Structure 1
Amino acid sequence: MLPPRFAITAEQIDRVVAVFYGAVRRHEVLGPVFAAHVTDWPQHEDKIARFWKKAILHQPGYDGNPMQVHMAAGDVRAEHFAIWLALFDETLRRSLPAEAAAGWSALAHRIGRGLRMGVEDLRNPVSGPPVLR
């Protein structure tokens, strides 16, 4: 098995996910978007924790398709990703040592850029080559 991308434990990932989604549920913009799709918060948090454990710790257990889910939701907008990432960064800074927070933030921003671009392309199809930002 590959070593973790940075020093973090599975328990820390679980805690960050739980704290973050607690903040999401209270957020004035993100809360209603998530509430329209998530009916079982413990199940959702478990699935997202498995996603991050696979992405960071290389643990098996997640086999979903985040791009497909975000694009199929219908009400996820490109501008939501900046809000999501800011709230996630705040959670990381408050919950983890600086090095782990920075490593996870960089990974989240890279993934978030890809998801945002996918949602943006779905909403605003263009002819010609894609614009990579």
Structure 2
Amino acid sequence: MAPLPPKFDVTRDEIARVVAAFYEMVRQHPGLGPVFAVHIEDWPKHEAKIVNFWANAILYERSYDGNPLKVHRDAGNVRPGMFDAWLGLFDLTLRTELRPDQAAAWSALAHRIGRSLRAGVVEQMKGPGGVPILR
């Protein structure tokens, strides 16, 4: 069987460049930096795993083995409102590092994934009476 074509025109090297630039900004972000710092001990290892995640999602490589929803749910300090900041930084990184067509296609995919992760985090966070906590 022939391999599937990529979802859009991007290379593994471009994915790695975006991931590195993104996490450089995350580490500097006053809201997201501390959240990530609690969980990430080895940034190069984490970035390599995320490159594999995106290579799987975009290029259909079979290099990622993980469960992003479980990781975000189990973190304990990830809140639904953080996904807006995450996506904003990611969109900025995409626009800075890629051509406009690449940035738009990857952004659309990231926003779909972000909505799913946010919904999964909201699902487990309930206030009094079972009301979802959205921030």
Unaligned runs of 5+ in 2: 131-135
CA offset at residue 79 of structure 1?
0.3
C-alpha separation in 2, matches of 1:10 and 1:26: 25
C-alpha separation in 2, matches of 1:75 and 1:123: 11
C-alpha separation in 2, matches of 1:84 and 1:12: 19
1:5 is paired with a residue whose SS is: coil
2:81 is paired with a residue whose SS is: helix
CA offset at residue 11 of structure 1?
0.2
Counterpart pick for 2:119 among 103, 113, 117: 117
Give the TM-score of the pair, scaled to structure 2: 0.92
Q: Which residue of 1 aligns with 2:77?
A: 75
CA offset at residue 120 of structure 1?
0.7
Residues 82-101 of structure 1 aligned to structure 2 (within 5 Å): 82-101=84-103
CA offset at residue 105 of structure 1?
0.2
Question: Which aligned segments of 4 or more residues in structure 1 are displaced greater than 3 angstroms?
Answer: none
Unaligned runs of 5+ in 1: 128-133
C-alpha separation in 1, matches of 2:96 and 2:63: 27
CA offset at residue 38 of structure 1?
0.4
Instruction: Provide, for residues 79-105 of structure 1, a one-character-per-residue CA deviation record: whole Å limited to 9, x for no partner.
Output: 000000000000000000001100000
CA offset at residue 25 of structure 1?
0.3
Please tell me the root mean square deviation across aligned C-alpha atoms, in Å. Answer: 1.4
Is 1:42 equivalent to 2:44 in the alignment? yes
C-alpha separation in 2, matches of 1:78 and 1:124: 12
C-alpha separation in 1, matches of 2:36 and 2:65: 21
Letter in 1 for 2:111: H
Residues 9-20 of structure 1 aligned to structure 2 (within 5 Å): 9-20=11-22
Is 1:66 equivalent to 2:104 in the alignment? no
User: How many aligned positions are there?
Assistant: 128
Give the TM-score of the pair, scaled to structure 1: 0.93
